[in-house]
Amino acid sequence: MSSDNQGLVPYFHFVIQTEISAMRTEIEEVNDASLKKAVRLLAGGGVVAFATETVYGLGGHALNEQAVLEIFRAKQRPADNPLIVHISRVEQAFALCRWNDVAQSLAEAFWPGPLTLLLPKKDTVPDIVTAGLGTVAIRLPSHPAARALLEACGFPIAAPSANRSGRPSPTTARHVYEDLNGLIPLILDGGSCEVGLESTVLDISGETPVILRPGAVTAEQVAMVTGSCDVAPSVMRPLKPGESAPSPGMRHRHYAPKGRLTLFSGEPEAVAKEIVRRYDAAGSARILAMHAHLPLYGDRLISDLGEDAASAAHRLFYLLRAFDEQGIEEIYGETLPPSGLGLAVMNRLARAAAFNIVEV
Ligand code: AMP
Ligand code: MG
């Protein structure tokens, strides 16, 4: 057992295996009828996938242990990786955690939106939701379909990303279907997720707020409200042997394409020169580059990350999935400046590349 597992209940160290099932998975547009169906399923302890502004979530009644177990089972998520609890009104948080003034100011500034707050949990939240930890992750999403669902349910919904564990988070209903067809009864199709990366996870249990996972709400924005905000060092580097993960999700290898992804950092022209050299030697490869740099690569096969960090965030998981679908074995990617939303993009890219980053 690695040292960062210590303190957890032994039960949380194994993966809950998926049982073979022949369930039919429906994809439905969001309307009164499908929302009613989703509420019925969720109230009965079932699971439903739904769109949020970050990525698709796989939801279950957060206060029903069986429902939460079903989420872990469908995703094959390691039981030591806790879930985010979604709410539709700030007051719902009061029953789930020990709410405080910092949480209140952050909620007023960033909710509804892509910010998850870690707060000391109350006993109402089953231990399985938090993987035995003393804190609970809470978020109030802004996507209209997610809000409509949460409002209609009236109870909090635990929802991790709706991918099979180890796959990139899903940003369309089709992605969810690819991963969970036959394992869940319903996907509410809320279109393509606007942000495209998971929420910022912010620990506010200590003196200074700490970002454990970067997302669309940045450290600079949080600091405008709280005065200061740190970013956990392991956001941009692998954990050292024996180092404990600030967030359990960081222990697991995430977002890995099947092909080998190598990243290059440096001046755009130098990076492009090195990528072109490797691409031409590889025989078959793909380049992942920002739109402004496309002319540097001539007529080689390029996946366009778009104009800025926001478009790179929106497209990244979509492109990683496409690489797998097309069986691409060698991918050469540019890096982005790790500031603002660029930090969140780089956090996901670096993990997808298993921190294989070449300085040019
Ligand atoms: P997902 O919803 O699949 O994007 O995963 C939720 C993320 O939040 C994971 O990286 C978890 O490790 C993290 N998380 C949830 N609850 C906690 C908690 N109590 N302490 C630290 N990290 C948490
Ligand atoms: Mg996830």
CATH number of the domain where residue 317 is located = 3.40.50.11030
CA of 127 to the centre of ligand 1 (A): 14
Query: Is 351 part of a structural domain of the chain?
Result: yes
The atom number, within ligand 1, closest to the CA of 83 reads: 15
Residue 69 CB neighbour total at 10 angstroms: 17
The atom number, within ligand 1, closest to the CA of 161 reads: 3
CA of 75 to the centre of ligand 2 (A): 9
CATH number reported for the structural domain that contains residue 204 in this entry: 3.90.870.10
Q: Which residue minimizes the CA distance to atom 5 of ligand 1?
A: 160
Q: Are residues 200 and 270 in the same domain?
A: no
**In the chain, which ranges are continuous DSSP H helix?**
32-43, 65-75, 101-110, 127-130, 144-153, 173-180, 219-226, 268-282, 309-325, 341-352
Residue reference for tokens 């392991």: 234
Task: State the chain's mean pLDDT as an integer.
Answer: 92
Q: Is the pLDDT of residue 222 over 80?
A: yes
Query: Is 220 part of a structural domain of the chain?
Result: yes
Cβ burial, residue 295 (10 Å; 0-12/13-18/19+) = exposed
Q: Are residues 132 and 264 in the same domain?
A: no
Query: Is 24 part of a structural domain of the chain?
Result: yes
What crossing angle do the helices spanning 341-352 and 309-325 adopt, rounded to 10°?
20
User: Which residue from 156, 183, 360 is spatially nearest to 274, judged by alpha carbons?
Assistant: 360
Q: Is the pLDDT of residue 2 over 60?
A: no
Distance CA 140, CA 133 (A): 21
Q: How many domains does the chain have?
A: 2
Mutation test residue for ligand 1: of 197, 201, 205, 317, the one with most atoms within 8 Å of CB: 201
β-bridge partners, 262: 332
Q: Are residues 273 and 353 in the same domain?
A: yes
CA of 255 to the centre of ligand 2 (A): 9
Domain boundary (201, 236, 271) is at: 236
Distance CA 268, CA 256 (A): 25
* pTM of the predicted model as reported, rounded to 2 decimal places: 0.92
Distance CA 246, CA 259 (A): 28
Residue ranges around ligand 1 (CB below 6 Å): 81-82, 84, 118, 130, 133, 135-137, 160-161, 198, 201, 212-213, 247-249
Q: Are residues 99 and 22 in the same domain?
A: yes
Q: Are residues 163 and 41 in the same domain?
A: yes
Phi, psi of 118 (to 5 degrees): -100, 125
Contact 137, 85 (CB under 8 A): yes
Distance CA 189, CA 49 (A): 9
At 253 the pLDDT is 61
CA of 52 to the centre of ligand 1 (A): 16
Instruction: Please compute the mean of the pLDDT values over residues 304-319 and round it to a whole number.
Output: 97
Q: Are residues 160 and 308 in the same domain?
A: no
Burial 254-293 (b: 16+ CB within 10 A, else e): bbbbebebbbbbeeeeebbebbbeebeeeeebbbbbbeeb
Structure tokens belonging to residue 351: 């993990």
Domain that holds residue 220: 3-236
Q: Is the pLDDT of residue 119 over 70?
A: yes
Query: Is 78 part of a structural domain of the chain?
Result: yes
Q: Are residues 46 and 188 in the same domain?
A: yes
Q: Are residues 266 and 212 in the same domain?
A: no
CA of 200 to the centre of ligand 1 (A): 10
Q: Are residues 133 and 59 in the same domain?
A: yes
CA of 199 to the centre of ligand 2 (A): 10
Q: Are residues 221 and 265 in the same domain?
A: no
Under the banding of pLDDT at 50, 70 and 90, the label for residue 4 is very low
Q: Is the pLDDT of residue 303 over 90?
A: yes
The atom number, within ligand 1, closest to the CA of 160 reads: 2
Q: Are residues 265 and 205 in the same domain?
A: no
Q: Are residues 134 and 278 in the same domain?
A: no
Query: Is 316 part of a structural domain of the chain?
Result: yes
Specify the 3-state DSSP secondary structure of 324.
helix
Query: Is 170 part of a structural domain of the chain?
Result: yes
Specify the 3-state DSSP secondary structure of 274.
helix
Specify the 3-state DSSP secondary structure of 200.
strand
Q: Is the pLDDT of residue 234 over 50?
A: yes
Domain boundary (236, 251, 282) is at: 236
Query: Is 252 part of a structural domain of the chain?
Result: no
Residue type, 338: P
The gap between the terminal CA atoms of the chain, to the nearest Å, is 38
Distance CA 140, CA 88 (A): 6
β-bridge partners, 117: 138, 202
Query: Is 181 part of a structural domain of the chain?
Result: yes
The atom number, within ligand 1, closest to the CA of 250 reads: 10
Rounded to the nearest angstrom, the gap between the alpha carbon of residue 240 and the centroid of all alpha carbons in its chain is: 22
What does the pLDDT look like over 153-166, one tens digit per residue?
999 999 999 999 98
